[in-house]
Amino acid sequence: MTRLLVKLFVKDYEKTEMCKVRTAYGVLTSIVGIICNLILFGTKLGIGLIINSISVMADAFNNLSDAASSVIGLVGVKLAERPADKEHPFGHGRFEYIAAIAVAFLILQVGYSCFKSAFTKILHPETVGFNWILVGILCLSVLVKVWLSIFNKTLGKRINSSVMKATSADAFGDVLITSVTIISIIIGKVTGLAIDGWMGIVVSIFVFMAGINIAKETLKPLLGEAVDREVYNRITDKVNSYTGIVGSHDLIVHNYGPTHTMATIHAEVSNDVKLEEAHETIDLIERDVLRDMGIFLVIHIDPVEVNDAKVLENRNMVIEVIKEIEPKATIHDFRMVNCENQINFFFDLVVPYSYDEKKEQELLMRIIESIQKLDEKFESVITIENSYIAD
């Protein structure tokens, strides 16, 4: 069913990196969610009125609120599709994250309502009345919601959509709540025990956790997150593959939505290469990365020594000293300046985020002292940095 719907309603569905294709996926999942929830709402409300069941009618209005989640998703993906303008030069892609946060808060609200209702039932236990029509409706609701959750999760992974993943979690929360209701009804019928309150507490905790996790995952790109290791390798390998590039460092990726990414990186080139030649290479890399990866990359040129044997020897010596003290630390931008009575080493030191300011200073002094022990003429001027790569 999922594959059929995608083929029917998403043009060029395999080109998921295209903004219009992503929007088409989002519109499809939102409309499917609205239709399914409205059907469940109408069915449950009609049968609830016929059999005069308050619980069935209450569940019907819960499905109506679920349709609101799909509406939020629809609005989010449509707003995210809007192109860049004067006020928003990087586009509107982050609207999708905002929509996902809104859905996450709806999930938290559902969890709170479930907890409140369950707590009341624990204080005032009562056996849920058994009715085959009620059980049948609830089972149908579970089947629809299971499919809806899988549908959103599958397509959400395909296009890396936060709002679709959030909608999937919302539907799965309904599955848990309704399933507990069914189990409570059956156990109440067989044993006469009123356990739905306790089971509701357990379910509400799961729903709360789902909402919190979605909010946390969605806030990461909004706050600014470390570069994923796979993305880091793809970009640096691409940059380093060009003739004239000695190495690269300080890659920072800015996410303005799933299809809007900007990045900056420092590319190392030999210090004897003409500036015009290096600039031409950098321009070529930036154009190729934008075309091949869809990333707007800005490259800063760092000239490095690649021919002076003494500089290279001392650089390797410094690296070995640092590795013995802190294996996770790395260096870049190494320069050596010969003075009359001393030799100065200038370089940037990248340390793990586990280091606080005190540990950084202790590490700094140990490195300076260890290098100076090799030759009293050695003086080190070190700038400490943190890595932008996710561990």
- What pLDDT does residue 58 have? 61
220, pLDDT greater than 70: yes
191, pLDDT greater than 90: no
Tokens, residue 45: 């409300």
> 309-386 in CATH: which number?
3.30.70.1350
Average pLDDT of span 119-138 = 74
Name the CATH architecture for the domain at 2-223.
Answer: Up-down Bundle (1.20)
Question: 33-47, 103-117, 277-291, 329-343: lowest mean pLDDT where?
Answer: 103-117
What is the chain's mean pLDDT, rounded? 86
Report the C-alpha gap between 385 and 366 in whole angstroms: 17
Percent of the chain topping pLDDT 90: 40
Are 387 and 350 in contact by the 8 Å Cβ rule? The answer is yes
Q: pLDDT tens digit string along 156-170?
A: 889 888 888 888 888
CA torsion through residues 282, 274, 250, 238, sign: positive
Report the C-alpha gap between 256 and 32 in whole angstroms: 27
0.85 cut: is pTM over it? no
Are 102 and 187 in contact by the 8 Å Cβ rule? The answer is no
- What pLDDT does residue 114 have? 74
127, pLDDT greater than 70: no
> What is the torsion angle, in degrees rounded to the nearest 10, for the CA atoms of residue 265, residue 266, residue 267 and residue 268?
-160
For domain 229-303, give the fold.
Alpha-Beta Plaits (3.30.70)
Question: 100-114, 127-141, 263-277, 309-323: lowest mean pLDDT where?
Answer: 127-141
Report the C-alpha gap between 92 and 307 in whole angstroms: 47
Report the C-alpha gap between 349 and 361 in whole angstroms: 12
Q: pLDDT tens digit string along 285-300?
A: 999 999 998 899 999 9
What are the residues facing 301 on neighbouring strands?
267
- The DSSP annotation for 114-173 comes to HHHHHHHHHHS--PPPP-HHHHHHHHHHHHHHHHHHHHHHHHHHHHT-HHHHHHHHHHHH
- What pLDDT does residue 351 have? 92
- What pLDDT does residue 219 have? 86
pLDDT bucket at 368, cuts 50 / 70 / 90: very high
50, pLDDT greater than 80: no
Report the C-alpha gap between 250 and 13 in whole angstroms: 35
Domains 2-223 and 309-386 share a fold: no
211 or 306: which carries more pLDDT confidence?
306
Domain boundaries, the chain: 2-223, 229-303, 309-386
Q: Which residue has the tokens 């005069």?
A: 52
Report the C-alpha gap between 137 and 42 in whole angstroms: 12
107, pLDDT greater than 70: yes
Tokens, residue 60: 């019907």
CA neighbor of 49 nearest in space, from 39, 57, 61, 58: 57
Residues 6+ apart with CB under 8 A from 320: none
